[in-house]
Amino acid sequence: MQMTSQDIDAVCGLVLDLCGVYLDETKAYLIESRLGTLAKREGCSSYVALTQRARVTGDLKLKQDIVDAITTQETLFFRDNSPFEALRNKALPELFDAKEKTPFPRRIRIWSAACSTGQEPYSIAMTLIDLIPDIERWDIQILATDISDAAIAKASRGVYAEHEVARGATASHLDRYFVREQQNWRISDRVRSLVAFRRYNLHDSFHSLGQFDVVFCRNVAIYFTPEARQRLFFRIADAMAAHSYLFVGASESLMNYGERFQPQHHCRSVFYQPNSDRTMSVGVRK
């Protein structure tokens, strides 16, 4: 189905409203390749008709299908490797030391915001198990959220094909943290039990989520407008504990956001510690 400029405007507006992902006419090919089948399935003669149906009928399933189709769910186990090295060798040991002086030294809260199909939170869980031999005696929870229902459903199942585990999981990981299930690999109960999955839009309020010691928010903000991106990182900082660590994607940087984020370096990895002075977020719309 050929796209007109009205089609592009209508789809870009709807997608921005549904999930904050910014698209423009340069992404026409992507819109066509991702929404074409959906438009046909719905019997819509144009993309304007598809967006009107989603808006006017308030069809939640159609809205969710559009979000599932348009968002990029590319991910892999231990993506970029160095953030997980930094988590294991620097952030977590420092966090454990800082926690020693608190009433709950073994309570750790981690958030994988935009977890896609689960490889990121499971990689975090494996890193924790590697580091903490008696993890069953700790109070650890990894909250893993994403806006895509389809991604969350797959993540919750925790079953991956051979080509998916081949992207990032080593033979040693397979041996220790996966169970063979016919042609596939299932995440072991020990790893699975550390992660709670939930559908969540990063543009919604974080008030119900609690406070986090570590946040991974990687490779999602790149799809938002610069203003929405900045707002997101400041809101995440507000949801983080006094001594905490924020990991962003390899192509993302918080260096332009002033003193609210203190960069930390470990080998090739840069991650951030939110400054506890919240007045540094002044001027950022919540």
Task: Assess 221 for contact with ligand SAM (CB under 6 A).
Answer: no
Residue 46 has, within 13 A of its CA and on its CB side, a CA count of 11
Answer for which of 11, 19, 23, 155 binds ligand SAM (CB under 6 A) is 19
**How would you classify the pairing of strands 269-274 and 107-113?**
unpaired
Answer for which of 219, 230, 269, 273 binds ligand SAM (CB under 6 A) is 219
Task: Assess 203 for contact with ligand SAM (CB under 6 A).
Answer: yes
Nearest approach in angstroms of CB 161 to ligand SAM is 17
Among residues 266, 284, 188, the alpha carbon closest in space to that of 229 is found at 284
Q: Is the four-CA dihedral 108, 109, 113, 119 of positive or negative sign? A: positive
Task: Assess 195 for contact with ligand SAM (CB under 6 A).
Answer: no
Q: Whose CB is nearest to ligand SAM? A: 75
Residues 6+ apart with CB under 8 A from 203: 19, 20, 228, 232
- The contact mask relative to ligand SAM for 53-72 (x = CB under 6 A, - = no) is ------------------xx
Task: Assess 51 for contact with ligand SAM (CB under 6 A).
Answer: no
Joined together, the tokens standing for residue 214 give: 């570590």
Nearest approach in angstroms of CB 279 to ligand SAM is 27
CA 274/CA 48 separation, integer angstroms:
42
Q: Which is nearer to ligand SAM, 196 or 242 (CB)?
A: 196
Task: Assess 82 for contact with ligand SAM (CB under 6 A).
Answer: no
Task: Assess 273 for contact with ligand SAM (CB under 6 A).
Answer: no
Answer for which of 170, 201, 225, 276 binds ligand SAM (CB under 6 A) is 201
Q: What are the φ and ψ backbone dihedral angles of 133, each rounded to 5 degrees?
A: -60, -35
Among residues 132, 131, 273, 151, the alpha carbon closest in space to that of 215 is found at 273
Task: Assess 230 for contact with ligand SAM (CB under 6 A).
Answer: no
CA 159/CA 111 separation, integer angstroms:
21
Nearest approach in angstroms of CB 16 to ligand SAM is 10
Residue 96 has, within 13 A of its CA and on its CB side, a CA count of 13
**How would you classify the pairing of strands 184-187 and 178-181?**
antiparallel
- The contact mask relative to ligand SAM for 147-166 (x = CB under 6 A, - = no) is xx--x---------------
Nearest approach in angstroms of CB 141 to ligand SAM is 18
Task: Assess 79 for contact with ligand SAM (CB under 6 A).
Answer: yes
How many residues are listed for the chain in this entry? 286
| N-terminal to C-terminal alpha carbon distance within the chain | 39
Interface with ligand SAM in residues 98-117 (CB under 6 A): 114, 116
Which residues of the shown chain bind ligand SAM in the complex (CB under 6 A)?
A: 19-21, 71-75, 79, 114, 116, 120, 146-148, 151, 201-203, 218-220, 223, 249
